[in-house]
Structure 1
Amino acid sequence: MTEFADSGVEWVFNPPLSPHMGGSWERLIRTVKNNLTAVCSSARQSDEVLRNLLTEVENIVNSRPLSHVPIDEDSAPALTPNHFLLGSSNGCKPLTNLDYSGAALRQNWLTSQVLANLYWRRWVSDYLPEITRRTKWFERPKPISIGDVVVIADPNMPRNCWPKGKIIGTRVSVDGQVRSATVRTTRGIYERPATKLAVLDVQRVDK
């Protein structure tokens, strides 16, 4: 904290016992807790498995995009919390095969990976709707528009992989709302329902 203060960072704290004043991050904390409870409720895990799982979950949560997501693979990656913590969007190298002789060690690692994959699938489904501008209950949703840059909710993708694309076409229902859209990505063009597309709040400003 001292290093940040020396760099001119000003800290602003909420009063005690007022979680409602930090709605955005408190909602994120609740999502993390709910998903952890869901993936860990089936059986009691060992300390090693739980420690590995929490490390994987930490990386999943901190690899979420905070800013404009570039479409081109050669473009700079989207800013994530891991950039501030580790200097890159993902501080972990791709998973490799274990070559350890200890059967218990292998089993603990495999168990933690299974739980981390379960958490990832739940996290994608729960978190992406939170970064859209469409507030379902309080105001009329803003339709997805052609040209919007979106993140595609795809729980089947590998962990920490955030597919991105640009809207090139929309399908509008009789009530005037966009129900599905055509998305151009680096891997091709896909048709996806609007519920699986998240438009980021922060957009790039071209100079």
Structure 2
Amino acid sequence: MIQSAKRCVRKTIGKARLTYDELITIIAEVEIILNSRPLSYIESDDNEQPLTPSHLIIGRQVINLPSVESDNSFEEEFRITIEELHDRMKYFHFLLNHFWKRWRSSYSIKLRDTHRHSPLKLNQSGRINKGDVVLIHNEELPRGQWRLGVVESLFKGIDRFIRGVSVRTHSPGGQITTLRCPIQKLYPLEVSATSEGEPIECSTVVNSPKV
């Protein structure tokens, strides 16, 4: 995990010329992204959030760093214009979004590979069973957000291998909907919520909060 994050940070920042404060801010944002990933799902009520590293570290979900509104006093104190500050912030978001895309892709592949070689599940298709809570691949989600769903049914191809699933999830408008997805678009959570390979019954789907 740490090695993957460091590699993505190096490739993202590259030879970018950042001040010490800018570098520290980016590292802090990266830390929030890593600690906001859903580890597992604990069923208690329909509004329950997925368990994240932040819950284990500080007991709650970390949203993001506090934003600072532009103030003309910055121009005099730092000898920089508001326009230059805005341009710098756009560049900041570009770097962070670039890191997010790189790390999300690396992390998702690692999740699938880890579960594929796990001895706890015998399903050959990425270790996904009916009733599992999974991550749904979605390139359009903002930085730090994950879409989760519950596997309701499995579909086999002519070769008798599982090729697709039906997933219950939330639509962008917040309505519960059912999607049919190829198995390649789904990733098991980092910590399986099953016992001895048997899937649990889940009654709801949740989305991770914004970062």
2:180 maps to what in 1?
Answer: 191
TM-score norm. by structure 2 comes to 0.68
- Distance in 1, matches of 2:43 and 2:148, equals 7
2:84 maps to what in 1?
Answer: 104
- Distance in 1, matches of 2:164 and 2:43, equals 22
Q: Per-residue deviation at 1:180?
A: 2.3
- Distance in 2, matches of 1:186 and 1:120, equals 22
- Distance in 2, matches of 1:71 and 1:189, equals 22
1:120 maps to what in 2?
Answer: 100
1:4 maps to what in 2?
Answer: none
Q: What is the SS of the residue equivalent to 1:158? A: coil
Q: CA RMSD in A?
A: 3.0
Contact 1:50–1:112 (CA under 8 A) maintained in structure 2: no
Cα 1:105–1:71, aligned 2, differ >3 Å: closer, same or farther?
Answer: farther
- Distance in 1, matches of 2:161 and 2:87, equals 48
Q: Tell me whether 164-173 or 55-64 shows the greater mean CA deviation.
A: 164-173
Question: Which residues of 2 match residues 28-39 of structure 1 at below 5 A?
Answer: 28-39=1-12
The residue type paired with residue 147 of structure 1 is: G
1:171 aligns with 2:143: no
Q: What is the SS of the residue equivalent to 1:60? A: helix
Instruction: Give a deviation string over 1:133-162, Cα, whole Å, max 9, x none.
Output: 1139xx986333322211112232112212
- Structure 1: runs of 5+ lacking an equivalent: 1-27
Contact 2:40–2:50 (CA under 8 A) maintained in structure 1: yes
Q: What is the SS of the residue equivalent to 2:155? A: strand
- Structure 2: runs of 5+ lacking an equivalent: 73-81, 172-176, 195-199, 202-211
RCO greater where, 1 or 2, for CA within 8 Å and sep 6 or more? 2
Cα 1:84–1:174, aligned 2, differ >3 Å: closer, same or farther?
Answer: same
Q: Per-residue deviation at 1:186?
A: 2.0
Q: Tell me whether 28-37 or 55-64 shows the greater mean CA deviation.
A: 28-37
- Distance in 2, matches of 1:134 and 1:54, equals 31
- Distance in 2, matches of 1:195 and 1:97, equals 40
Q: How many pairs are equivalent?
A: 174
2:59 maps to what in 1?
Answer: 87
